[in-house]
Amino acid sequence: PQLSPELRSRYTGIALEKAERLEDLINEFFDITRFSLTHLELEKQPTDLTRMLEQVASEFAPQFAEKDLRCELELPPRLAYDCDPDKLARVFDNLLRNAFHYSFPGSTVRITGQQEADTVVLTFTNEGRTIPAEKLERIFDQFFRLDSSRATRTGGAGLGLAIAKEILALHGGTIRAASADNRITFTVRLPLQEAAARNS
């Protein structure tokens, strides 16, 4: 009762932030358990990846504005792919969330996409501290975080990239990370349906 309105507001804000972080962690734990312990069936349908990426990027606009981040998309007018759109959107969401947390303020996040022979290739590049090689090798491990000292909501529990890798594997795809000169690039490769059928 003796707290000033300013202190009460501050502590209420801290409590809210902690509650939201706990909610994020619970959701991530639920997701990784679901992806690891059950056999997920993909509900594939024809999807325009260009439209999907534009939509996911637009949803991040308010967060990006907080750090004065720009998002540039270099995509063909249409990038058709048979996939589970809900699960693949989760991959893109996790990659953009990662870019938001680890980008220098005022920098640019760049998304490119194109079809190369029988593969769709997407890249997500952001400007941030170069990731050391030893950490780069573990970046897709469950619970691995680049900055384990962070106590705020940033960075999550280190499950987002592990979940992304799992979903892409279900589609027969891969994801790779590279980092140099204060740039981080994630490259996603998705086989087209014809290629996947030949390899099955």
pLDDT of residue 10: 85
Q: Is CATH 3.90.1490.10 correct for 5-199?
A: no
* Number of Cβ atoms within 10 Å of the Cβ of 52: 17
pLDDT of residue 35: 62
- Sign of CA pseudo-dihedral 86, 71, 129, 102: negative
pLDDT of residue 146: 57
What's the average pLDDT block by block, 10 residues per block, for the chain (200 residues)? 84 84 73 63 92 94 92 96 93 92 95 95 96 83 55 52 88 94 96 56
Tell me if the pTM is above 0.85.
Answer: no
pLDDT of residue 39: 64
Q: Alpha-carbon distance 123 to 129, whole Å?
A: 18
DSSP string covering the chain, please?
--S-HHHHHHHHHHHHHHHHHHHHHHHHHHHHHHHHHS-PPP--EEEEHHHHHHHHHHHTHHHHHHTT-EEEEE--S--EEEE-HHHHHHHHHHHHHHHHHHSPTT-EEEEEEEEETTEEEEEEEEE-PPPPHHHHTTTTSTT--S-TT--SSTTTTS-HHHHHHHHHHHTT-EEEEEEETTEEEEEEEEE-HHHHHHH-
pLDDT of residue 198: 41
Q: Where are the domains of the chain?
A: 5-199
